[in-house]
Homo-oligomer: A and B are copies of this chain.
Amino acid sequence: MKNKRFLLSEEDIPRQWYNIASDLPTPMQPPIGPDGKPITPDMLAPVFPMNLIEQEMSRERWIAIPEEIIDMLYMWRPAPLVRADRLEKYLKTPARIYYKDESVSPAGSHKPNTAVAQAWYNKQFGIKRLTTETGAGQWGCALAFACSLLGLECKVFMVRISFDQKPFRKTMMQVWGANCTASPSNETNAGRAILKKMPDTPGSLGIAISEAVEAAVTDKTGKTRYALGSVLNHVLLHQTIIGLEAKKQLKMAGEKRPDVVIGCAGGGSNFAGLAFPFVNDKINGEKIEIIPIESSTCPKMTKGPFTYDFGDTAQMTPLLPMYTLGHSFIPPPIHAGGLRYHGMAPLVSQCIVEGLITPRAYDQLKCYESAVTWARTEGTIPAPETSHAIACVIDEAKKAREEGKEKVILFSYSGHGLLDLAGYEKYLGGKLEECSLPDSELCESLKSIKDLPKAKTQKTGKW
């Protein structure tokens, strides 16, 4: 008998999150205001509860996961590590491919890992209502689910193009009691301003974030806060449970370490969740290739500069040091809505600067082709975001075949595509066109950051 799935028992769930900020070779640069001065905790207080702000700024290596959060995580965790042996056989590769299956959560992706944590910390702080943005809808669903567990109200601004492409995401959120609006909307100043300039815009995560932040800070009860599904330190922190579990499971599978670690990256939380515990190994001397995958239509990591930029279009957030295409960038309407974000998480960005990880960009059609290969070998239908990781996994497995190397490839199966079938329908019907990003558009959006403070591109040069 060969082992297909590697399951941890509930006793084996990690009890602490891993904070990579404590281990990075160069200290992180702080978020700053437009005046160049570091943001203080007080300045974030209207947006986030203080317990999460503290976590955002923490330098502790290990942060204990409260028991009540673990109790919610038990609804689907520990998540399986699975050997993709059928794909290996199909590719005739000597590589051993493992995936961490994050699609098993009630909302269908890795997003609930931080949603239940954020909702819990907000509730502890006395908050009654959360606002948020969502791209493809995975994060909106995750927060709706988490809020329903804890009895919080939930308001979601969903990027217009995804709202139209994936109509049943809204229904899912409603099943969990949340309210979901297409963004840009008429409900906020930020939304109205964008609609006036660009009535037909497909929207973007940057715009939806502006709306959600505005909806939180303008609520006069003081009981509303904003929750972000990626990018920030505390969000990535909560996701490290993925990689911490995967490490234990790789040992169960008899593997010493992965040779290649792959994850798709929109804001960076899925990738970081799996990768950061292995980045730590790399800092400590292990030889691992670690690859975040982006869409070639939103190529901040492979084509953007590393600099300070706003997290949102309306410039409501602090400036963050990150790879970015400029906060005014509106990506082409690819189906992988979760990858349509102009910037990359500061922690992930710093790992790129250091050379600890090496990003790649993939085209939409190749990703759909890979997704169908996956469905017909491993059986499940991946989210369009996840298909970007699969495309790279297939490339790496073929490379191992050509080199005749028994590599261990590990990747994050970040979500299922059962709410994203419209894209598959177009692809299978030969009606899905390649989205491309004209250089001119990129140049235009980069103008929006040219006068902002520059981030230091510190690196040790070790990797």
Contacts and interface: CB of A to CB of B under 8 A. Distances in A.
Interface of A: 1, 3-5, 7, 9-11, 74-76, 86, 104, 106, 108, 145, 148-149, 168, 171-172, 174-177, 372, 375-376, 378-381, 418-419, 421-422, 424-425, 428
Contacts of A424: 171, 174-175
Contacts of A171: 421-422, 424-425, 428
Contacts of A7: 7, 9
Contacts of A419: 418
Contact of A379 (B1, B10, B149): B149
Contact of A381 (B5, B9, B172): B172
Contacts of A175: 372, 375-376, 381, 421, 424, 428
A216 to B, nearest CB: 23
A5 B77 CA distance: 9
A177 to B, nearest CB: 6
Contacts of A378: 75
A176 B418 contact: no
A218 to B, nearest CB: 27
Nearest to A70: B1
Copies in the complex: 2
A148 B106 contact: no
13 contacts: A3-B10, A5-B74, A7-B7, A75-B379, A86-B149, A106-B380, A148-B375, A148-B376, A149-B379, A172-B421, A174-B425, A175-B424, A418-B419
A74 B376 contact: no
A447 B401 CA distance: 66
A106 B379 contact: yes
A255 to B, nearest CB: 17
A174 B371 CA distance: 13
A5 B1 contact: no
A174 B425 CA distance: 8
Contact of A108 (B1, B5, B418): B418
Top 9 A-B pairs ranked by shortest CB distance? Answer: A106-B379, A168-B421, A4-B74, A171-B421, A171-B425, A418-B418, A148-B376, A106-B380, A175-B375
A375 B428 contact: no
A176 B381 CA distance: 9
A336 to B, nearest CB: 16
A275 B377 CA distance: 32
